[in-house]
Structure 1
Amino acid sequence: MEQAAAQVSTAGMRLGMRKVMVLVPGVVVFAVAFGAAASAKGLSLVEALLMSALVYGGISQLVAMELWRPEWSWGAIAGLAVVTATVNSRMILQGASLQPWFAAYPKALNALHLFFFTDANWVIGTRYRAEGGRDLGVLIGAGLLLWVVWVLLTGLGYGLGALVSDPRAFGIDLVMPIFFAAMIVPLWRGRRAAVPWVAAGIAALLTAKLVEGYAFIIVGSLTGAVVGAFRDDPA
Structure 2
Amino acid sequence: MSPALRPHFSTAGLRHGARAALPAFPGFIMFAVAFGTAAAQKGLSLGETLGLSAFVYAGASQMVGLEIWQQAWTPSTVLTIMTVTAVVNARMILLGATLQPWLKNEPLARTALNLFLITEAGWLVGTRYHSEGGRDVGVLLGCGIILWVVWLLATLSGFFAGALVPEPRRFGLDLVMPIFFGVMLVPLWKGAKVALPWLVAGLVSLIVHALVPGYVFIIAGALAGVAAGMLIE
Normalised by the shorter chain, which TM-score bucket?
0.7 to 0.9
Shift of 1:159: 0.5
Instruction: Look up the match of 2:40.
Output: 39
Mapped partners of 1:102, 1:67: distance in 2:
35
The one-character-per-residue Cα deviations of 1:75-95 (angstroms, maximum 9, x if unpaired) are 222111111110111101110
Amino acid across the alignment from 2:61: S
Instruction: Look up the match of 1:55.
Output: 56
1:227/1:169 Cα in 2 relative to 1: closer, same or farther (>3 Å)? closer
Percent identity (aligned) = 45
Mapped partners of 1:130, 1:19: distance in 2:
15
1:223/1:20 Cα in 2 relative to 1: closer, same or farther (>3 Å)? farther
1:123/1:205 Cα in 2 relative to 1: closer, same or farther (>3 Å)? same
Mapped partners of 1:5, 1:133: distance in 2:
9
Amino acid across the alignment from 1:205: G
Does the alignment pair 1:210 with 2:207? Answer: yes
The secondary structure found in structure 2 opposite 1:121 is: helix
Amino acid across the alignment from 2:133: G
* Farther-moved stretch of structure 1 (48-57 vs 24-33): 48-57
Shift of 1:150: 0.8
The secondary structure found in structure 2 opposite 1:218 is: helix
Structure number, greater radius of gyration: 2
Mapped partners of 1:8, 1:76: distance in 2:
42
- 5 Å-filtered alignment, 1:42-191, equals 42-161=43-162, 162=165, 165-168=173-176, 171-178=179-186, 181=188
The answer on whether the counterparts of 1:17 and 1:145 sit within 8 Å (CA) in structure 2 is yes
**TM-score, normalised via structure 1 length:** 0.80
The one-character-per-residue Cα deviations of 1:148-201 (angstroms, maximum 9, x if unpaired) are 01111111111011367334499434443357x39xx9xxxxx9xx97x54532
Shift of 1:214: 5.1
The answer on whether the counterparts of 1:20 and 1:142 sit within 8 Å (CA) in structure 2 is yes
What is the aligned-residue RMSD (CA, Å)? 3.0
Structure 1: any 5+ residue segments left out of the alignment?
186-190
Mapped partners of 1:15, 1:175: distance in 2:
31
Mapped partners of 1:149, 1:167: distance in 2:
24
1:215/1:26 Cα in 2 relative to 1: closer, same or farther (>3 Å)? farther
Mapped partners of 2:79, 2:2: distance in 1:
44
Instruction: Look up the match of 1:201.
Output: 198
The one-character-per-residue Cα deviations of 1:93-152 (angstroms, maximum 9, x if unpaired) are 110122111112122210121121111112222222222221111211111111001111
The answer on whether the counterparts of 1:199 and 1:227 sit within 8 Å (CA) in structure 2 is yes
Amino acid across the alignment from 1:48: T
Structure 2: any 5+ residue segments left out of the alignment?
none
